[in-house]
Chains A and B, each alone.
Chain A
Amino acid sequence: MAAVSVAAEWQLLYNRYYRKPEIYSMQWKNVDLSRNKVACAPFGGPIAVIRDDSKIVQLYAESALRKLRIFNSAGVQIAETVWRNPGGRLVGMAWTDDQILVCITQDGTVYRYNVHAELIEPNVSMGQECFEQSVVECVFWGNGVVCINEANQLFSIPDFKNPSPCKLADPNLEELPLCAAVIDPQYTMSGNVEVLLGVEDHVLLVEEDGVQQLGVGVGPFQKMVVSRNGKLLASFTHDGRLLVMSTDFSKIIFEYPCESALPPEQLAWCGMDSVLLYWDDMLLMVGPYGDPVRYVYDEPIILIPECDGVRILSNTSMEFLQRVPDSTVSIFKIGSTLPAALLYDALDHFDRQSAKADENLRLIRSSLPEAVETCIDAAGHEFDVSRQRTLLRAASYGQAFCSHFQRDRFQEMCKTLRVLNAVRNHDIGIPLSIQQYKLLTPSVLVGRLINAHQHFLALRISEYCGMNQEVVIMHWACTKITASLAIPDAPLLEILLDKLKICKGISFAAVAAHADKSGRRNLAAMLIEHEPRSFKQVPLLLSIGEEDVALTKATESGDCDLVYLVLYHIWQKRPALEFFSMIQVRPLARDLFINYARCYKHEFLKDFFLSTGQLQDVSFLLWKESWELSKNPMASKGSPLHGPRIKLIEKAQSLFAETKEHMFESKAAEEHAKLLRIQHELEVTTKQAIFVDSSISDTIRTCIVLGNHRAAMKVKTEFKVSEKRWYWLKVFALATIRDWDALERFSKEKRPPIGYRPFVEACIDADEKAEALKYIPKLADPRERAEAYARIGMAKEAADAASQAKDGELLGRLKLSFAQNAAASSIFDTLRDRLSFQGIS
């Protein structure tokens, strides 16, 4: 029976089953692990191979120059390159979490390669001290490394995303530590890396700012390795014991005495349950209880720890050693009568058209959903496609008899398996287990695929999993551009657009930027044309020198900030005149420039206006400056009458006069200059600095207030002040100094051209009833008279005047303002009745 043969391949470690299926037979030829340094990335990542320069090996018809070769996990070569790097022996080589191959040479230089064996610039150095005292040992973790140099000092790059080395505390060792291990920063208290060094009979814990002694007397240790979660430490002592302890050395979990005191070549955790020790031709798996499992190998192997097991790479094959998942055990364990096993068996009977199928089903009726679930789960753990299929069929068969079962579980698993099977294919060579896949997440997997230039598969997977395809298409487009130097711009654009349009809202600007970086400016220009977002489009247009287009696009967008961006760019790059003529024809750009320059670049703005012939605008600027001069005490040197201020105004005046449309401004400037002269003179004669910068009207009022009527008269004639304005000004000025006699004299000089209203208003405003009464009767309009009386509270007179005017509305209003006064109010009522107007309010 099939089920029996499955379990026959398992090994029992105490009460747990382990299995070790071959997932690939390696496609490579002539690779001997023993001659090479090999770095294998976890999560089914690539394998880097380079001839080991620390060993003496025989060369077989090959170049003396070493080659760095990169394979996928199935041994298919992805890329190779010749190793020409200086810096002495290659000490450490490993993959980071981002699948960058890090190679560290003796002199402390860190070379980084991508999966295509392309060197990523720049190279990083571990620092002067590593350069002088060679690096002898490197210990890597996820995204970092710790190096030990000949002086037994420790250096670390905590994160390769930002590769800057730092020195750890000096452990002050005389000789090289026996062994070293690191605890990943994400599992330490401090958040910084902790290095464990096996020294004499104890361990030193080294951090950035301190050294601590741990586990005195437990060692000496020959080899150490920390578990994936940073909690446990497996170590091999000098007397041949395997010790598993917590990383803080607080307790020993278990101990196993090995037959050999020779330390194993490799020591690795298999999941969290067991530890693997590898000597020359023997692999020993030790668990906390029971006898260890032994495997014999006649060729060298490399252990690649994963989260749920260990991959074993040999010259010819890739195996995956893992604890058999519970669901699989419950189905395939010999003699299992668990529901899932019976369901699996039922399918077998069903296929053979045996009635026993039904019998089996009836046996497990109540626990059928659970059985289906188990079959689905077991399918997920299989690498063998036909076995996946059989298990899923069993599940599907059982599901048909379940009334309530979450059908998405089944669909979900089918989807996941399709993805897994696709990436496990030899050509892709990523042998992810389902657990690893879940830990890695689909989006990271897609990221790795595109880095490996498997765009099509990545696209299909992201589409299939309902993820955003933008990342994939974007990366594809950029890669395509890099790879298509031979294809002319137009056809390449076609090819790109064809794919870019798959994804809505994709950033054409990013692709265009890449095209530009790849030296294809023309293609970049064509691509930007398709970018709908102007805030991405415009800066890029500038960077490829398309300033005109950039200005147009910025203007169209309505975003003034973008226009400014373009403006400054052109301003900086072009000669002033060229800049001027460029913006002169674009109103928005021109106006924005003017606004900025008005505030910040006055002189430059003048140049602009002169170059475009906008003389009146120059005049305005000059005129404005004239006021700024007045605030500047340094500028008032020399005679005020011919001072720089007046000169500026006169210059403005003459520029205004150049154009016919600005006669008014020209005249005003002229008058202004004249006014300033007169005001200066007045200040000199009166010895009072109160005239400059007041208006003509104010100057007249000030003169009158000061009693200088002659000067007031002079200003009046000088500026042709109208009689009307003159009367208002003089009346108000006289009222201000309460010179009522002068006011009366003024009223009698001649018949005032605007009547006596100014006199009345001035007196009322000054609260001089008696004075006001002198002029009120002289008011021509009875309405005005009525209101004037009303304002000084003479109700009767007001009423009389209003009735004279025959204005009912006025009467009503007056009544309202006398509302508090009952007597007055009745007067209005009688009058209004007499007028027989309709009632108002």
Chain B
Amino acid sequence: MAQIPNLDNAPVNLSSIRDQSQKELITILKSIRGKKCLVVDPKLGGSLSLIVQTSLLKEHGVELRHLTAEPIQTECTKVVYLVRTQFDLMKFICSHVHNDVSKGLQREYFVYFVPRRAVACEKILEEEKVHHLMTIGEYPLYVVPLDEDVLSFELDLAFKEYAVDRDTSALWHIAKAIHKLEFSFGLIPNVRAKGKASVRVAEILNRMQAEEPVNMSDVAVPEINTLILLDREVDMVTPMCSQLTYEGLLDEFLHVNNGAVELDASIMGVQQQEGKKMKVPLNSSDKLFKEIRDLNFEVVVQVLRQKATSMKQDYTEISSMTQTVSELKDFVKKLNSLPEMTRHINLAQYLSTFTSKPSFLGRLDMEHTLVEAQSYDICFEYIEEMIHKQEPLVNVLRLLILFSVTNAGLPKKNFDYLRREILHSYGFEHMATLNNLDKAGLLRKQESKSNWLTIKRALQLVVDDTNTANPNDISYVFSGYAPLSIRLVQHAVRSGWRPVEEILKLLPGPHSETKRSGFASSPSYDALTGTIPHMDKVGDGRRSLVLVVFIGGVTFAEISALRYLSAQEGMAYDLVVGTTKVVSGSTLTETFIEKLG
């Protein structure tokens, strides 16, 4: 099975987007004749693996390398860099060139920026006096489809850059990506945004429409009816909780990267030499995975057991009795799903070694206690002890963020105490990490009373009688906690912001609701009608679409919750998720960790 997901069943034509990106990359490679060494920024390498097969690159005379500080070892005289516009990467490139020059190597250099050229990066090349040696170009990769219903802008640092460094480049990128989608699928008539970054993206999007309008006459009915933009900042509680869906848990423990996990081959039952790693692709091309990815892990175990039993039964039947040809055919068909069965049974078994640990269960307990926000002291002591035991810093910070967010910050005494304990336990270099978290408002001093309890109650975030096997609410993904972000989406889709305005005011950042049309010169602010007009169906009977964009990342558990919503009866829309990156609490927290050293 390929890591590149099959997009045939996507609610909008996502394959065309991917094909376009593929074509653009090949055009770049073709424009440079002969053999070349393609040096890819490692982060981009992951995104590219969702767009082109490596074999296709090889067909175009490419020798593939990852960009690191180490000089490039290659026979090729043409070196092509494919990089995001990050300053540190520029330094690598400069050092490579300097190294070649000092060795008297004559090479042709090409630098392709993703998604576009950046003045600041070129400035560095100029200052290092290598700019004139380079041919500079751009590769406009703004969006990567991760699956039938998930688009990623591949901006894993977006949240940190925006919240800490106040660098808004990512917002422009997101707006541009959405605007590009609009060129394919029509101008999105309804835009709802919550959070400072989201409102800004909506603004930039409108500016872009004014600067380079999407021609309405090209697309009869816009395929995407509504765009919902949400800041991660609005809901920092959800990502910090441990995800309990199958896919979410896989991400928590094994780290899903670009639609695949990498683990020891022995775990997957493959007999190979010790320590050999293998990649297991995870996307909806795998029928069984599509069925179970969004379920609560408890249920997954049951489902797998059931399937295994029924298969075993079939097998006994087949060996004991004579069968008709068609029955045999059915059986063989079932056998086809055997590899998928084994794959997921292996994975689930491996996962349960983590989930059955008392430390994990204790942690889940603590997360619930934190979300309930009723027992301050127990939480405080638990976190204090974690620090004393020098548990991995990320785990500590995840709970601390949860603690600080639900309490609107910590009282100064506790705040300073815990920070000091962290510095003492993990080293003073983490001053930068603490500073980052403070700037982003994730771990801060209490300045006002927390309104978390009000929010929790009003949005019914904690649901007591959650049935994970036959869920009747999105709270199943966290076994009792309904993700705040998805609650907001639920409201936004159903009736717009208006009915929840009071609650929105309690959450960070402004909100906006805009109606746009291709004809009016300026979009009018629509405060009166919050409801979505009755244009629910696109011409050919398909459901129309809502694009939900998370600025700062989304977790698999939230995506599962959205899929659950989308599958509900009475839901008029298909939901497609856009995100700066699929994150887990840990990967999100890690972006804030910065050592001074």
Report if A672-B119 is in contact (Cβ < 8 Å); known contacts: A623-B596, A664-B419.
no
Report if A558-B384 is in contact (Cβ < 8 Å); known contacts: A599-B87, A620-B435.
no
Do B172 and A560 have beta carbons less than 8 Å apart?
A: yes
**A 403-437 to B, binary, CB cutoff 8 A, 1 in contact else 0:** 00000000000000000000000000000000000
Report if A697-B390 is in contact (Cβ < 8 Å); known contacts: A561-B116, A595-B167, A668-B431.
yes
Chain B hits for A787, CB < 8 A: 358
Chain A hits for B172, CB < 8 A: 558-561
Do A719 and B167 have beta carbons less than 8 Å apart?
A: no
Q: Which residues of B in the span 165-213 have a Cβ within 8 Å of any Cβ on A?
A: 165-169, 171-172, 175, 200, 203-204, 207, 210-213
User: Residues of B within 8 Å of A, CB-based: how many?
Assistant: 52
Indicate which residue in A630, A668, A732, A754 contacts B428 across the interface (CB closer than 8 Å): A668
Task: Tell me whether B491 is interfacial, beta carbon within 8 Å.
Answer: no
Indicate which residue in A591, A697, A791 contacts B424 across the interface (CB closer than 8 Å): A697
Alpha-carbon separation in the docked complex, A201 to B416 (Å): 104
Task: Tell me whether B361 is interfacial, beta carbon within 8 Å.
Answer: yes
Indicate which residue in A534, A557, A600, A754 contacts B87 across the interface (CB closer than 8 Å): A600
Task: Tell me whether A696 is interfacial, beta carbon within 8 Å.
Answer: yes
Do B416 and A627 have beta carbons less than 8 Å apart?
A: no
Report if A725-B416 is in contact (Cβ < 8 Å); known contacts: A533-B211, A534-B211, A591-B166.
no
Chain B hits for A594, CB < 8 A: 165
Chain A hits for B171, CB < 8 A: 558
Indicate which residue in A532, A558, A719, A721 contacts B175 across the interface (CB closer than 8 Å): A558
**B 360-379 to A, binary, CB cutoff 8 A, 1 in contact else 0:** 01000000000000000000
Report if A592-B431 is in contact (Cβ < 8 Å); known contacts: A532-B210, A561-B120, A697-B425.
no
Central interface residue in A587, A725, A728, by most chain B CB within 10 Å: A725
Chain B hits for A732, CB < 8 A: 389
Alpha-carbon separation in the docked complex, A671 to B116 (Å): 45
Task: Tell me whether B127 is interfacial, beta carbon within 8 Å.
Answer: yes
**B 418-443 to A, binary, CB cutoff 8 A, 1 in contact else 0:** 01110111111101100100000000
Q: How far is the CB of B185 from chain A (nearest CB, A)?
A: 21
Do A591 and B167 have beta carbons less than 8 Å apart?
A: yes
**A 684-696 to B, binary, CB cutoff 8 A, 1 in contact else 0:** 0000000001111
Chain A hits for B431, CB < 8 A: 620, 623, 665, 668
**B 396-435 to A, binary, CB cutoff 8 A, 1 in contact else 0:** 0000000000000000000010011101111111011001
Indicate which residue in A568, A620, A664, A696 contacts B123 across the interface (CB closer than 8 Å): A568
Do B168 and A564 have beta carbons less than 8 Å apart?
A: no
Alpha-carbon separation in the docked complex, A732 to B385 (Å): 13
Alpha-carbon separation in the docked complex, A387 to B540 (Å): 55
Report if A565-B421 is in contact (Cβ < 8 Å); known contacts: A599-B88, A627-B597.
no
Q: How far is the CB of B202 from chain A (nearest CB, A)?
A: 11
Do B356 and A817 have beta carbons less than 8 Å apart?
A: yes
Do B168 and A588 have beta carbons less than 8 Å apart?
A: yes
Q: Which residues of B in the span 576-597 have a Cβ within 8 Å of any Cβ on A?
A: 595-597
Report if A671-B428 is in contact (Cβ < 8 Å); known contacts: A558-B207, A568-B123.
yes
Central interface residue in B120, B207, B213, B597, by most chain A CB within 10 Å: B120
Indicate which residue in B119, B124, B361, B421 contacts A600 across the interface (CB closer than 8 Å): B124
Chain A hits for B385, CB < 8 A: 724, 728, 754
Q: How far is the CB of B169 from chain A (nearest CB, A)?
A: 4
Do B211 and A695 have beta carbons less than 8 Å apart?
A: no
**A 517-561 to B, binary, CB cutoff 8 A, 1 in contact else 0:** 000000000000000111000000000000000000000111111
Q: How far is the CB of B348 from chain A (nearest CB, A)?
A: 16
Chain A hits for B597, CB < 8 A: 627, 630, 693
For chains A and B in complex, what number of residue pairs have CB atoms within 8 angstroms?
123
Q: For the complex, would chain A's binding face be called helix, strand, loop or mixed by DSSP majority? A: helix
Chain A hits for B596, CB < 8 A: 620, 623-624, 626-627
Chain B minimum-CB-distance residue to A626: B596
Q: How far is the CB of A793 from chain B (nearest CB, A)?
A: 13
Central interface residue in A565, A664, A721, A813, by most chain B CB within 10 Å: A664
Chain B minimum-CB-distance residue to A700: B424
Task: Tell me whether A341 is interfacial, beta carbon within 8 Å.
Answer: no
Chain A minimum-CB-distance residue to B424: A696
Task: Tell me whether B571 is interfacial, beta carbon within 8 Å.
Answer: no
Q: How far is the CB of B314 from chain A (nearest CB, A)?
A: 27
Task: Tell me whether B118 is interfacial, beta carbon within 8 Å.
Answer: yes
Report if A721-B424 is in contact (Cβ < 8 Å); known contacts: A533-B212, A558-B203, A728-B389.
yes
Task: Tell me whether B388 is interfacial, beta carbon within 8 Å.
Answer: yes
Q: How far is the CB of A594 from chain B (nearest CB, A)?
A: 8
Alpha-carbon separation in the docked complex, A816 to B385 (Å): 27
Indicate which residue in B123, B169, B361, B388 contacts A813 across the interface (CB closer than 8 Å): B361
Chain B minimum-CB-distance residue to A630: B597
Do B421 and A725 have beta carbons less than 8 Å apart?
A: yes
Q: How far is the CB of A415 from chain B (nearest CB, A)?
A: 24
Q: How far is the CB of B11 from chain A (nearest CB, A)?
A: 29
Alpha-carbon separation in the docked complex, A556 to B421 (Å): 43
Alpha-carbon separation in the docked complex, A620 to B431 (Å): 9
Indicate which residue in B120, B175, B427 contacts A693 across the interface (CB closer than 8 Å): B427
Q: How far is the CB of B362 from chain A (nearest CB, A)?
A: 9
Chain B hits for A729, CB < 8 A: 388
Do A695 and B175 have beta carbons less than 8 Å apart?
A: no
Q: List 17 A-B contacts (CB under 8 A).
A: A561-B117, A561-B169, A564-B123, A595-B87, A600-B124, A623-B431, A627-B595, A627-B597, A668-B420, A694-B427, A695-B424, A696-B423, A697-B390, A697-B424, A721-B424, A725-B424, A728-B389
Chain A interface residues (CB < 8 Å from chain B): 505, 532-534, 556-561, 564-565, 568, 587-588, 591-592, 594-596, 599-600, 620, 623-624, 626-627, 630, 664-665, 667-669, 671-672, 675, 693-698, 719, 721, 724-725, 728-729, 732, 754, 787, 791, 813, 816-817
Known: A620-B596, A630-B597. 5 other contacts (CB 8 A): A561-B118, A564-B120, A599-B88, A600-B87, A813-B361
In the A-B complex, the 5 residue pairs with the closest CB atoms = A627-B597, A591-B166, A558-B204, A695-B427, A560-B169
